[in-house]
């Protein structure tokens, strides 16, 4: 018997499921049998007495969960950090545990009242004593971890719990003698899994399946080579035995009803301190300020969700709520993250949402120089579509040529600073590129309540676009198209071949004839099938009148390509009278510039298709300059490309039958995007119809 190991338990005299504070307790109120619980507890007690000395704390009436002594606090050497329970239901246990620790000679550390931490339920020492694993996400707050490091003088590795069934670290994670680790990876986010894998070599990691996890197999008490648990599958027992452990199963089903098992019912109170182990925590915090229609526009929710989803935690330091409908709010938020890398990631995302450092902490951007052409420094700031400013020598300057997915290059000539977006491949040696997240701010045009209502009116991304809703959106788009045309503005269309397959060619042609389109962007296919339809009446071999495949129709597009190639170009085909109608015909006739970006198929291409994609991209960008509105018609890939080249402020209308495409494209988080889930041919016909109504008494031909 290992005399030196002591364990604290609490007899289940007052144990019951009286409330619900974890998913296991749901449906189990007063469903556990006290007699059976006592019997199971005694068995566990008996088993443990063979391997350790068991001390008891007096159970207290009214605190049914006090049996779970793992949550009393976290012990290391003579020190204990007392628990601060997250739920009121357990907070009354704190003074009783505190008393016990004091009576037994421990130095007790207490966290602030509003900083939850649930003791050894959420903090587990590596059994070699090298570091402390600490969980957060449900019960304990990440911000409690730096205190553990400081008070207990140990390195803390924070793990983010993401499955509410495994709300305490000890429900899914169990460090074992000899550096082994028994755990359920599904309970952790990917960052935490990565951290575990970095610290524990693969031959020491014993991962379990969900079936074992829900039997609380990880909620095990390990003393030397013995592991005591509720229940384990044969496979798990074998793998533990293989590496020299002796498994004792003892049923604890009555306690599972409260969400606990063997480990929860115990607290190891002899945890030796290692000489050469010292405090260290990679946790970082910083304060960021959010400003705007934080509530109206849902920015605050988005921001705080984003912090938590990335494994960080936050504390809102102050929140100045705009009182009037039109006034904006300001909030200072302290954000913490378990590592520098995650802190940077979270900061970047918050900056994209418009967060800035509070005035006293604003500093200049960090800049690194390009040393290899076409390659940015590692931590370069990746741009968004939103207007961005960078601070150089204490002055903010607006980034030029704003677009997404670029780097920011800063130039200083004669004391004048300019900053502009540059795509990676254009970076030249010596370019000075903005890195990290300091000194950068983006202006998110935050929508007030009124703007949001109109957006919701028009936004169809939810996928429940009833026909009437489509009509309403079309009415609005028609009206805007009309405005843009009448003031000499610019509308660019990106279109895929589906426009032709769905019978949209005649309607798109009509828009072009009537001055509603100033440029067309697509690939080889839209032109091929448009011309196929104009020349042969089919699209991809399908008869456009009857809707049935035509015999030999699969050859049509090849013949068409061949014909145009003989003519020399689409324009020449029109001039020679070979191509008499259709979308491409209208482009030529109405001097509407177009760019057909590449083809991966080797059955063409048309002579006009630009097969050098870098040239095609440049041409797209040129044609997009000064655009007021982009109609994206059933072409995901070309539309994504176009979206990335376009700064915020340009209205985008994305039409696709697939709601996922619409959501992806119109989710630019800005007022200007409208998604319409519908058949594109139908959409175009409604649009032309609507424009006719607006245009009457003159008729659209």
Known catalytic residues are: 168, 264
Of 63-71, 231-239, 376-384, 641-649, the segment contacting ligand ARG by CB under 6 A is 63-71
- Taking alpha carbons only, the member of 193, 151, 191 closest to residue 172 is 193
Answer for which of 8, 21, 392, 652 binds ligand ARG (CB under 6 A) is: 21
* Long-range pairs of 541-549 with CB within 8 A, sequence gap ≥ 24: 542/501, 544/503
The smaller minimum CB distance to ligand ARG, of residues 68 and 381, is found at 68
CA-CA distance, 553 to 541, in Å (whole number)?
A: 4
C-beta of 65: minimal distance to ligand ARG in Å? 4
Two tokens, residue 375: 């390659």
Answer for which of 7, 70, 176, 435 binds ligand ARG (CB under 6 A) is: 70
List all residues 6 or more positions away from 11 whose beta carbon is below 8 Å from its beta carbon: 38, 41, 56, 59, 67
Binding string, 477-506, against ligand ARG, x = CB under 6 A? ------------------------------
Of 47-55, 99-107, 166-174, 627-635, the segment contacting ligand ARG by CB under 6 A is 166-174
Question: Residue 632 pairs with which residues in a beta bridge?
Answer: 494, 654
Question: Residue 80 pairs with which residues in a beta bridge?
Answer: 75, 108
Of 66-74, 528-536, 596-604, 682-690, the segment contacting ligand ARG by CB under 6 A is 66-74
Of 62-70, 441-449, 495-503, 507-515, the segment contacting ligand ARG by CB under 6 A is 62-70
CA-CA distance, 299 to 297, in Å (whole number)?
A: 5
C-beta of 192: minimal distance to ligand ARG in Å? 18
Cα torsion angle, 299, 303, 309, 314, sign: negative
Two tokens, residue 334: 């302290």
Answer for which of 15, 63, 68, 314 binds ligand ARG (CB under 6 A) is: 68
Footprint of ligand ARG on residues 669-688 (CB under 6 A)? none
The smaller minimum CB distance to ligand ARG, of residues 257 and 651, is found at 257
The smaller minimum CB distance to ligand ARG, of residues 68 and 380, is found at 68
The smaller minimum CB distance to ligand ARG, of residues 145 and 651, is found at 145
The smaller minimum CB distance to ligand ARG, of residues 181 and 370, is found at 181
CA-CA distance, 112 to 150, in Å (whole number)?
A: 15
Answer for which of 84, 160, 168, 441 binds ligand ARG (CB under 6 A) is: 168
C-beta of 478: minimal distance to ligand ARG in Å? 58
Footprint of ligand ARG on residues 572-611 (CB under 6 A)? none
C-beta of 64: minimal distance to ligand ARG in Å? 8
Question: Residue 421 pairs with which residues in a beta bridge?
Answer: 408
Of 168-176, 317-325, 434-442, 503-511, the segment contacting ligand ARG by CB under 6 A is 168-176
Of 101-109, 252-260, 285-293, 608-616, the segment contacting ligand ARG by CB under 6 A is 252-260
Determine the size of the site formed for ligand ARG (CB under 6 A): 15
Of 103-111, 186-194, 257-265, 359-367, the segment contacting ligand ARG by CB under 6 A is 257-265
User: If you ran DSSP here, which 8-state letter would residue 403 be given?
Assistant: -
- Give the position of tokens 């849902």: 298
- Alpha helix segments (H runs only) across 539-612: 556-567, 570-575, 583-589
Burial label, 244 (beta-carbon count in 10 A; 0-12, 13-18, 19+): exposed
Count the neighbouring beta carbons within 10 Å of the beta carbon of residue 122: 33
**Contact flag: residue 137 with ligand ARG (CB under 6 A):** no
**Contact flag: residue 170 with ligand ARG (CB under 6 A):** yes
- DSSP assignment of 352-366 equals HTT-B--GGG--PPE
**Contact flag: residue 22 with ligand ARG (CB under 6 A):** yes
Answer for which of 73, 116, 137, 260 binds ligand ARG (CB under 6 A) is: 260
List all residues 6 or more positions away from 544 whose beta carbon is below 8 Å from its beta carbon: 503, 533, 537, 538
H/E element, 79: strand 79-82
The smaller minimum CB distance to ligand ARG, of residues 264 and 365, is found at 264
Query: Which 3-state string (H, E, C) describes 174-198?
Result: EECHHHCEEECHHHECHHHHHHHHH
**Contact flag: residue 65 with ligand ARG (CB under 6 A):** yes
* Chain residue whose CB lies nearest ligand ARG: 121
Answer for which of 32, 40, 71, 666 binds ligand ARG (CB under 6 A) is: 71
CA-CA distance, 207 to 168, in Å (whole number)?
A: 17
Answer for which of 121, 312, 497, 504 binds ligand ARG (CB under 6 A) is: 121
- Taking alpha carbons only, the member of 256, 228, 257, 230 closest to residue 240 is 228
Two tokens, residue 511: 């828009």
Q: Are 14 and 61 in contact (CB under 8 A)?
A: yes
Answer for which of 258, 337, 410, 421 binds ligand ARG (CB under 6 A) is: 258
The smaller minimum CB distance to ligand ARG, of residues 121 and 282, is found at 121
**Contact flag: residue 117 with ligand ARG (CB under 6 A):** no
Footprint of ligand ARG on residues 196-215 (CB under 6 A)? none
| Residue 125 region by backbone torsions, left for phi larger than 0, else alpha for psi between -120 and 50, else beta | beta
Count the neighbouring beta carbons within 10 Å of the beta carbon of residue 499: 28
C-beta of 82: minimal distance to ligand ARG in Å? 15
The smaller minimum CB distance to ligand ARG, of residues 74 and 528, is found at 74
Question: Residue 673 pairs with which residues in a beta bridge?
Answer: 652
- Taking alpha carbons only, the member of 364, 20, 40, 66 closest to residue 229 is 40
Footprint of ligand ARG on residues 87-116 (CB under 6 A)? 90
**Contact flag: residue 519 with ligand ARG (CB under 6 A):** no
- Taking alpha carbons only, the member of 590, 627, 672 closest to residue 488 is 627
The smaller minimum CB distance to ligand ARG, of residues 65 and 352, is found at 65
**Contact flag: residue 156 with ligand ARG (CB under 6 A):** no
User: If you ran DSSP here, which 8-state letter would residue 356 be given?
Assistant: B
**Contact flag: residue 259 with ligand ARG (CB under 6 A):** yes
Binding string, 338-377, against ligand ARG, x = CB under 6 A? ----------------------------------------
Answer for which of 83, 140, 171, 666 binds ligand ARG (CB under 6 A) is: 171
User: If you ran DSSP here, which 8-state letter would residue 485 be given?
Assistant: H
Answer for which of 72, 124, 182, 264 binds ligand ARG (CB under 6 A) is: 264
Burial label, 31 (beta-carbon count in 10 A; 0-12, 13-18, 19+): exposed
CA-CA distance, 227 to 220, in Å (whole number)?
A: 6
- Taking alpha carbons only, the member of 223, 182, 226, 227 closest to residue 200 is 182
- DSSP assignment of 268-326 equals E---PPPTT---B---EEEEEEEEESTTTT-HHHHHHHHHHHTT-EEEEEEEE---STT
Of 68-76, 383-391, 539-547, 669-677, the segment contacting ligand ARG by CB under 6 A is 68-76
The smaller minimum CB distance to ligand ARG, of residues 167 and 380, is found at 167
The smaller minimum CB distance to ligand ARG, of residues 260 and 522, is found at 260
Of 255-263, 280-288, 352-360, 488-496, the segment contacting ligand ARG by CB under 6 A is 255-263
C-beta of 193: minimal distance to ligand ARG in Å? 20
C-beta of 386: minimal distance to ligand ARG in Å? 43
- Residue ranges in contact with ligand ARG by CB under 6 A: 21-22, 65, 68, 70-71, 90, 121, 168, 170-171, 258-260, 264
């Amino acid at each position: 018997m290992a005399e030196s190991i002591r364990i604290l338990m609490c007899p289940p005299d007052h144990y019951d499921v009286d409330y619900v504070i974890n998913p296991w307790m749901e449906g189990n109120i007063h469903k556990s049998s006290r007699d059976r619980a006592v019997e199971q507890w005694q068995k566990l007690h008996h088993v443990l007495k063979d391997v350790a000395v068991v001390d008891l704390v007096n159970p207290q009436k009214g605190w049914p969960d006090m049996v779970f002594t793992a949550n009393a606090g976290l012990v290391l050497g003579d020190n204990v950090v007392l628990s601060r329970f997250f739920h009121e239901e357990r907070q009354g246990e704190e003074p009783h545990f505190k008393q016990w620790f004091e009576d037994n000679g421990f130095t007790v550390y207490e966290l602030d009242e509003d900083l939850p931490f649930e003791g050894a339920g959420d903090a587990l020492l590596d059994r070699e004593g090298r570091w402390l694993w600490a969980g957060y996400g449900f019960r304990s707050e990440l911000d409690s971890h730096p205190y553990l490091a400081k008070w207990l003088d140990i390195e803390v590795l924070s793990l983010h719990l993401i499955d509410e069934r495994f709300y305490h670290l000890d429900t899914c994670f169990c460090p074992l003698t000899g550096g082994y680790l028994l755990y359920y990876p599904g309970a952790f986010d990917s960052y935490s899994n990565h951290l575990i894998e970095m610290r524990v070599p693969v031959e020491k990691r014993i991962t379990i399946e969900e079936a074992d996890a829900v039997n609380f197999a990880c909620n095990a008490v390990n003393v030397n080579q013995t592991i005591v648990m509720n229940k384990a599958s044969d496979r798990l027992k074998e793998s533990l035995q293989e590496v020299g452990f002796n498994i004792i199963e003892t049923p604890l089903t009555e306690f599972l009803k409260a969400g606990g098992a063997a480990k929860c019912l115990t607290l190891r109170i002899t945890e030796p301190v290692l000489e050469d182990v010292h405090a260290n925590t990679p946790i970082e915090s910083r304060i960021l300020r959010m400003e705007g229609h934080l509530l109206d526009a849902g920015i605050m929710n988005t921001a705080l969700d984003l912090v938590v989803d990335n494994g960080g935690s936050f504390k809102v330091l102050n929140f100045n709520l705009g009182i009037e409908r039109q006034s904006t709010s300001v909030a200072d938020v302290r954000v913490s993250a378990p590592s520098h890398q995650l802190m940077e990631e979270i900061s970047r995302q918050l900056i994209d949402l418009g967060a800035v450092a509070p005035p006293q902490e604003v500093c200049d951007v960090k800049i690194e120089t390009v040393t290899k052409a076409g390659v940015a420094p590692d931590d370069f700031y990746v741009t968004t579509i939103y207007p961005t400013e960078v601070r150089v020598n204490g002055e903010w300057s607006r980034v030029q040529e704003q677009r997404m997915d670029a780097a920011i290059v800063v130039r200083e000539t004669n004391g004048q600073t300019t900053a502009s977006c540059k795509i990676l491949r254009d970076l030249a040696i010596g370019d000075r590129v903005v890195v990290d997240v300091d000194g950068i701010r983006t202006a998110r045009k935050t929508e007030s309540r009124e703007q949001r209502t109109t957006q919701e009116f028009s936004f169809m991304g939810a996928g429940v676009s009833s026909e009437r809703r489509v009509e309403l959106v079309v009415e609005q788009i028609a009206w805007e198209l009309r405005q843009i045309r009448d003031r000499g503005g610019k509308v660019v269309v990106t279109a895929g071949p589906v426009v032709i397959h769905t019978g949209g060619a005649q309607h798109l042609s009509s828009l072009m004839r009537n001055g509603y389109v100033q440029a067309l962007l697509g690939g080889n296919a839209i032109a091929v099938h448009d011309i196929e339809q104009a020349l042969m009446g089919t699209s991809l071999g399908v008869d456009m009148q009857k809707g049935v495949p035509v015999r030999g129709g699969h050859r049509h597009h090849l013949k068409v390509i061949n014909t145009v190639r003989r003519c020399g170009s689409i324009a020449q085909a029109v001039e020679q009278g070979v191509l008499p109608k259709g979308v491409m015909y209208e482009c030529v006739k109405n001097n509407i510039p177009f760019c057909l970006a590449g083809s991966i198929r080797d059955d063409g291409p048309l002579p006009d298709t630009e097969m050098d994609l870098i040239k095609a991209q440049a041409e797209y960008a040129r044609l997009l300059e000064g655009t007021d509105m982009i109609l994206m018609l059933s072409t995901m890939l070309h539309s994504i490309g176009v979206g990335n080249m376009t700064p915020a402020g340009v209205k985008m209308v994305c039409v696709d039958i697939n709601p996922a495409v619409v959501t992806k494209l119109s989710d630019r988080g800005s007022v200007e995007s409208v998604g319409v889930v519908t058949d594109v041919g139908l959409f175009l016909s409604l649009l032309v119809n609507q424009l006719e109504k607006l245009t009457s008494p003159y008729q659209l031909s």
